[in-house]
């Protein structure tokens, strides 16, 4: 069989493994002396390593300003940081935190070069195309989930009746360097660990079955799913301080960022963007709560349209990889996959959407802004509504 045509975008430079944070000072200093640090209000402080990292910066001769925030980045926040630093020589931006912090850092590094309102350059809503210029950017994740340390977009949002989640995107926005130190994730609370892990799992599965998947992305996903299998529940519960467990989850998150950047995502993320714009639901929670229902609905439709499809074969392979079972027939693999996703939903106690105030009456406005993205088969509005309904009522 011939290898299919595909394209694969660049990845960041990667420093991966326990202790790699100790190289942050030298890595940043390679770009210059003036550093802008964006970090989360809680994650870095709770890690107990903030003072150590700050000392690394100082010992490397860096001058730095810190911006700290919580929640998801808004266009207004990005514009404010850019405005305050537009006439300051910034040699490098570094984001230390979860996916939202890293997204904020990406956006700031990109907008510092042009100094215009970021909302004018967002997908769908914007009217201008970003040239791809940026200040060098380093990502240091403190959670294992979004893969933002390896992707080319920064998600910005406003939450409310007229809310949105939109990406500032360009291939050049992939971080110049990702410093992925699992020790920074050890203090991550159980619920956040679970939500982030399910986000990474969703990204791995959706990019695996995407029509844009390639031999490269397939191989990466297949290396990461067994890491999820053996470590997601351990990281969220009894072995949260086990560095080997945390290293496996950090690897899975990193790989999910690389594969989503190259293959795209599916209907879970197509719905999650709409939900997150309208309601204050953490992104990982939305993905985790929808994953089983959306996967099952997609599989059902694929079976009715093309029982021998490549996407069904891949879903089955994912089922075997997540269960550590030898490969056999497709039907068995599909059953194993759905059973495993249901197990994760139950054991991780993934919240229903109704716990965040979402009701059946909200379905129309959610579906209005939802999409299939790169789902292997197109689901219609009624099918997407069924997915959401399953997670509104127990």
Could you say which of 3.30.2130.10, 3.50.50.100, 2.30.30.30, 1.20.1090.10 is the CATH number of the domain covering 190-390? 1.20.1090.10
Question: What b/e string do you get for 295-309 counting C-beta neighbours within 10 Å, with b at 16 or more?
Answer: bbbbbebbbeeeeeb
Structure tokens of 128? 């201008």
Structure tokens of 347? 């054991």
Contact 201, 228 (CB under 8 A): yes
Check residue 187 and give its pLDDT.
Answer: 93
Contact 140, 181 (CB under 8 A): yes
Check residue 1 and give its pLDDT.
Answer: 55
Domain boundaries, the chain: 13-185, 190-390
**Residue located via tokens 């105030």:** 357
User: Fold identical between 13-185 and 190-390?
Assistant: no
Give the pTM. Answer: 0.96
Q: What is the pLDDT of residues 257-274, one digit of tens each?
A: 999 999 999 999 999 999
More confident residue, 5 or 141: 141
pLDDT grade, residue 115 (50/70/90)? very high
Tell me which residue of 283, 304, 231 sits closest to 100, measured CA to CA: 283
H-assigned helices in the chain: 24-29, 43-47, 50-59, 75-85, 99-111, 190-209, 215-236, 243-263, 267-278, 283-305, 310-323, 330-347, 363-368, 381-390
Tell me which residue of 30, 246, 37, 22 sits closest to 142, measured CA to CA: 246
pLDDT grade, residue 47 (50/70/90)? confident
Distances (CA, A) of 275 to 261, 264, 292, 340, 388: 22, 19, 17, 25, 10
Mean pLDDT of 29-58: 90
User: Which of 34-48, 214-228, 295-309 is least confident?
Assistant: 34-48
CATH number belonging to domain 13-185: 3.40.50.1970
Mean pLDDT of 185-205: 96
Looking from the CA of 97 toward its CB, the CA atoms found within 13 Å total 26
Distances (CA, A) of 3 to 206, 214, 216: 21, 9, 11
283-305 and 190-209 helices, crossing angle to 10°: 30
Check residue 227 and give its pLDDT.
Answer: 97
Structure tokens of 62? 């860096």
Nearest-5° angle of CA 279, CA 285, CA 290? Answer: 95
Check residue 138 and give its pLDDT.
Answer: 98
Check residue 4 and give its pLDDT.
Answer: 80
Contact 319, 375 (CB under 8 A): no
Rounded Cα distance, 76 and 158, in Å: 9
283-305 and 330-347 helices, crossing angle to 10°: 160
Q: Is 386's pLDDT higher than 60?
A: yes
Q: Is 75's pLDDT higher than 80?
A: yes
Rounded Cα distance, 224 and 254, in Å: 9
List, in order, residues 6 or more apart from 30 with CB less than 8 Å away. Answer: none
Structure tokens of 268? 């879970």
Q: What is the pLDDT of residues 225-253, one digit of tens each?
A: 999 999 999 999 999 999 999 999 999 99
145, 151, 154, 155: CA torsion to nearest 10: -50
Q: What is the pLDDT of residues 340-354, one digit of tens each?
A: 999 999 999 999 999
pLDDT grade, residue 34 (50/70/90)? very high
Check residue 6 and give its pLDDT.
Answer: 87
Contact 246, 183 (CB under 8 A): yes
Which of 39-53, 67-81, 124-138, 285-299 has the highest average model confidence (pLDDT)? 285-299
């Amino acid at each position: 069989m011939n290898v299919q045509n595909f394209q694969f975008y660049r990845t960041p430079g990667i420093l991966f493994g326990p202790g790699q944070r100790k190289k942050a000072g030298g890595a940043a200093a390679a770009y210059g002396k003036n550093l802008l640090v964006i970090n989360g209000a809680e994650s870095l402080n709770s890690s107990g390593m903030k003072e150590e990292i700050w000392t690394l910066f100082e010992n490397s001769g860096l001058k730095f300003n810190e911006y700290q925030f919580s929640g998801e980045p808004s266009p207004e926040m990005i514009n404010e940081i850019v405005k305050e630093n537009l006439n300051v020589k910034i040699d490098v931006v570094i984001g230390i935190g979860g996916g939202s912090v890293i997204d904020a850092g990406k956006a700031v590094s990109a907008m510092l070069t042009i100094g215009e309102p970021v909302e004018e350059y967002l997908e769908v809503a914007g009217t201008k195309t970003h040239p791809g210029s940026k200040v060098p950017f380093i990502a240091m994740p403190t959670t294992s989930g979004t893969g933002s340390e390896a992707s080319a977009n920064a998600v910005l949002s406003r939450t409310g009746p007229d809310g949105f989640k939109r990406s500032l995107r360009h291939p050049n926005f992939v971080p110049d360097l990702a410093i992925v130190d699992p020790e920074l994730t050890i203090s991550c609370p159980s619920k956040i660990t679970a939500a982030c892990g399910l986000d990474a799992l969703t990204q791995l599965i959706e990019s695996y079955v995407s029509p844009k998947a390639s031999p490269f992305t397939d191989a990466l996903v297949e290396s990461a799913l067994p890491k999820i299998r053996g470590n997601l529940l351990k990281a969220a519960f009894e072995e949260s301080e086990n560095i080997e467990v945390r290293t496996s989850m950090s690897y899975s998150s990193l790989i999910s960022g690389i594969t989503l950047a190259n293959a795209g995502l599916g209907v879970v993320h197509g719905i999650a963007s709409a939900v997150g714009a309208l309601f204050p639901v953490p992104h990982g929670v939305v993905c985790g709560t929808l994953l089983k229902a959306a996967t099952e609905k997609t599989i059902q439709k694929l079976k009715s349209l093309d029982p021998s499809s490549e996407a069904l074969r891949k879903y089955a392979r994912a089922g075997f990889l997540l269960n550590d079972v030898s490969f056999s027939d497709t039907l068995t693999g599909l059953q194993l996959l759905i059973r495993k996703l249901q197990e994760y939903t139950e054991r991780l106690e993934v919240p229903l959407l109704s716990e965040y105030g979402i009701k059946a009456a909200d379905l129309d406005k959610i579906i209005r802004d939802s999409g299939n993205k790169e789902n292997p088969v197109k689901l219609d509005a009624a099918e997407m509504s069924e997915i959401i309904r399953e997670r509104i009522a127990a």
